[in-house]
């Protein structure tokens, strides 16, 4: 009985959204050429969102003939429509949306401080972690680390990535992954990938993230400034690579060409270690070996390939 009453009430609220009756706010959402105007009710939005409560109460809010005019260019009309349907109609089935849409919805809901929607999304993300990682590992992983509401899920998501990191590093947008999140991944002892592959993917990521993108297959043509730029970007990653788990052959073909990127003392240690495993090391503490149940990956012993941008 109570459920039916609630459903009827929300159906009436939904009619207000659909026909705009009594609306006192026009929100222009999106950027050209995808802009849409929504006729909504300030009292409804303020009831669920501290963001709108502050925005509509402000002295600088734009009013014309008693109507508030507001702009949200950084949210797409399709995502804003989902939010309004949730607020007015309690209508939101997240299973029907792609991971990229869910990520956009997460960002918008967090910005608008709609707590009840944030909690709904959190429950969905918790229960559908594997699906989201499979569809868009880069974007979902970055959001998990950007927003505090997901702090308790970070270890779970990293663990799932570590079980099969190829899903991440071979994803088309891998090179957009932010530095902080990538370092958190490299710190893991359970990262299920051979160390030389980790190094190769990291090199490719770095070459795509410096100002003047480098062609890693033409390293012999690089200038000293190119190595300097790469070294500056990679310096915080170097301590998290398990250098002494890279074989001599892999060192020769995949590390030696980039020796100018490494600290001199570390490179000398690696050369000495590959000649004599009992050599006394000076550069850094040897990190524990990663997960031994590695997924077999064929390594081309030349230079790591780079996805063209």
pLDDT band at 308 (very low <50, low <70, confident <90, very high): very low
- For residue 182, CA distances in Å to 25, 235, 250, 308 come to 42, 13, 22, 20
Measured distance CA(302)–CA(252) in Å, rounded: 9
- Does 205 or 301 have the greater pLDDT score? 205
Range name among 8-12, 164-168, 236-240 with the lowest pLDDT average: 8-12
The CATH number assigned to the domain with range 1-76 reads: 3.30.710.10
Measured distance CA(138)–CA(20) in Å, rounded: 38
Long-range pairs for 139-144: beta carbons < 8 A, 24 or more residues apart? 139/99, 139/100, 139/103, 139/173, 140/99, 140/102, 140/103, 141/168, 141/177, 141/181, 142/177, 142/178, 142/181, 143/103, 143/106, 143/107
The one-character DSSP state at 298 is P
Q: Where are the domains of the chain?
A: 1-76, 92-173, 193-275
pLDDT by residue (tens digit) across 5-32? Answer: 556 656 667 888 988 899 999 999 999 9
pLDDT band at 289 (very low <50, low <70, confident <90, very high): confident
Range name among 58-67, 96-105, 120-129, 295-304 with the lowest pLDDT average: 295-304
- Does 284 or 49 have the greater pLDDT score? 49
pLDDT band at 297 (very low <50, low <70, confident <90, very high): very low
Q: What is the pTM of this model?
A: 0.84
């Amino acid at each position: 009985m109570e459920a039916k009453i609630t459903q009827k009430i929300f159906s009436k609220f939904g009619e207000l959204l659909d026909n705009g009756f009594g609306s006192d706010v026009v929100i222009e959402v999106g950027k050209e050429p995808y802009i849409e105007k929504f006729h909504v009710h300030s009292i409804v939005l303020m009831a669920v969102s501290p963001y709108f409560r502050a925005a509509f109460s402000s002295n600088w809010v734009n009013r014309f003939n008693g109507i508030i005019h507001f702009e949200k260019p950084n949210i797409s009309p399709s995502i804003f429509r989902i939010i309004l349907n949730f607020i007015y109609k309690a209508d939101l089935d997240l299973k029907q949306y792609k991971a990229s849409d869910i990520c956009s919805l997460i960002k918008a809901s967090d910005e608008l401080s709609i707590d009840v929607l944030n909690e709904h999304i959190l429950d969905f993300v918790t229960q559908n972690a594997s699906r989201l990682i499979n569809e868009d590992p880069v974007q979902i992983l970055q959001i998990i680390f950007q927003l505090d509401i997901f702090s308790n899920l970070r270890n779970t998501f990293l663990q799932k990535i570590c079980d099969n990191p190829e899903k991440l590093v071979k994803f088309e947008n891998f090179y957009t992954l932010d530095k902080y999140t990538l370092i958190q991944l490299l710190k893991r002892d359970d990262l299920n990938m051979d160390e030389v592959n980790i190094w190769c993917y990291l090199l490719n990521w770095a070459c795509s993230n410096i100002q003047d993108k480098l062609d890693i297959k033409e390293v012999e043509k690089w200038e000293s400034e190119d190595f300097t730029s790469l070294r500056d970007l990679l310096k915080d990653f170097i301590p998290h690579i398990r250098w002494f788990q890279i074989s001599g052959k892999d060192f020769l073909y995949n590390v030696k060409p980039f020796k100018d990127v490494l600290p001199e003392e570390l490179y000398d240690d690696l050369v000495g270690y590959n000649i004599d495993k009992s050599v006394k090391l000076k550069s850094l503490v040897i990190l524990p070996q990663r997960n031994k149940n590695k997924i077999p990956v064929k390594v081309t012993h030349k230079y790591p390939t780079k996805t063209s941008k």
